[in-house]
Amino acid sequence: MNANEHPTREEDFDLLALGALEDDEKKAIESHVATCAGCALKLAEAHNRIALIGLASPPAKPSSEVKARLIRQIRAEAEGKAPSPGSVKDEASSAREPWTQWFNAVLIPVAAILVFVTVYLWRQNQIFDQQLAILRATVQEQQDQLDEDRKVADLIAARDTIVVPLAPQSGMPQGSARVVYNAHSGILVYDGQLEKAPADKSYELWLVPATGNPINAGVFNPSTGKTSHWVIKLPPGTIPKAFAVTLEPAGGAPQPTGPKVLVGPLS
């Protein structure tokens, strides 16, 4: 990658924080981070993860041999018998050697493994959260559909509910539908199939009351061969004398202006 590109792998930030990237990759990411606030934040989060891993590692205690060697050196300096530079160097080197070997052989591999495990678990947690969100949305959708089905079932079972078939009119788009309506609650259910409306038109369902102006009960643009279905709440107590579907300008109209496509009078 070059300095203008975002890192393509999220783990590159952890590898950079750990110091495990090659020189070219390291320079490219560091140059990009210097000018990109989003990637700088990701690198800071990676440094925090590495620091937490270091704090989580068990403390290492020096061996008794190293401790005794340091005590002898301190006492010799206090008595004015400083060891020769060569002996100090040899002892310091020999004291450092076990630590260096332990660090190279144990700490670095363990830290690298912990970094990759952390990144893997973080990614798995993201995937799990996404799947959980999808599952919750699906469950909510099914619950909403179940609630609607129960309302429709209760509506149909009510004694004062009416079912009105809507018949197609001559020379109009063909189809059929029915309206289930309860004046006491004001709940209306529409189910029907119609040919697709012209591009600049929409269908609109109307409740035609015994007195007063028609009431808009839904604007729709059906797909060919698919059933349109919805439940709508209208003002309770409205007594209809008919239901009708008209062809209106796209988006519907405040009052019917177009031709009647489906009509269902109350007998």
CA-nearest of 187, 188, 237 to 212 is 237
Residue 124 scores a pLDDT above 50: yes
CA-nearest of 232, 233, 243, 234 to 265 is 243
CATH for the stretch 161-265: 2.60.40
Q: Where are the alpha helices (DSSP H) in 103-226?
A: 108-157
Tokens matching residue 31: 């140059």
Give the chain's mean pLDDT: 79
What is residue 186's DSSP assignment? T
Dihedral pair phi/psi, residue 122, rounded to 5°? -65, -45
pTM over 0.85: no
pLDDT value at residue 153? 80
Q: Which of 68-82, 143-157, 169-183 has the highest mean pLDDT?
A: 169-183
| Domains in the chain: boundaries | 11-129, 161-265
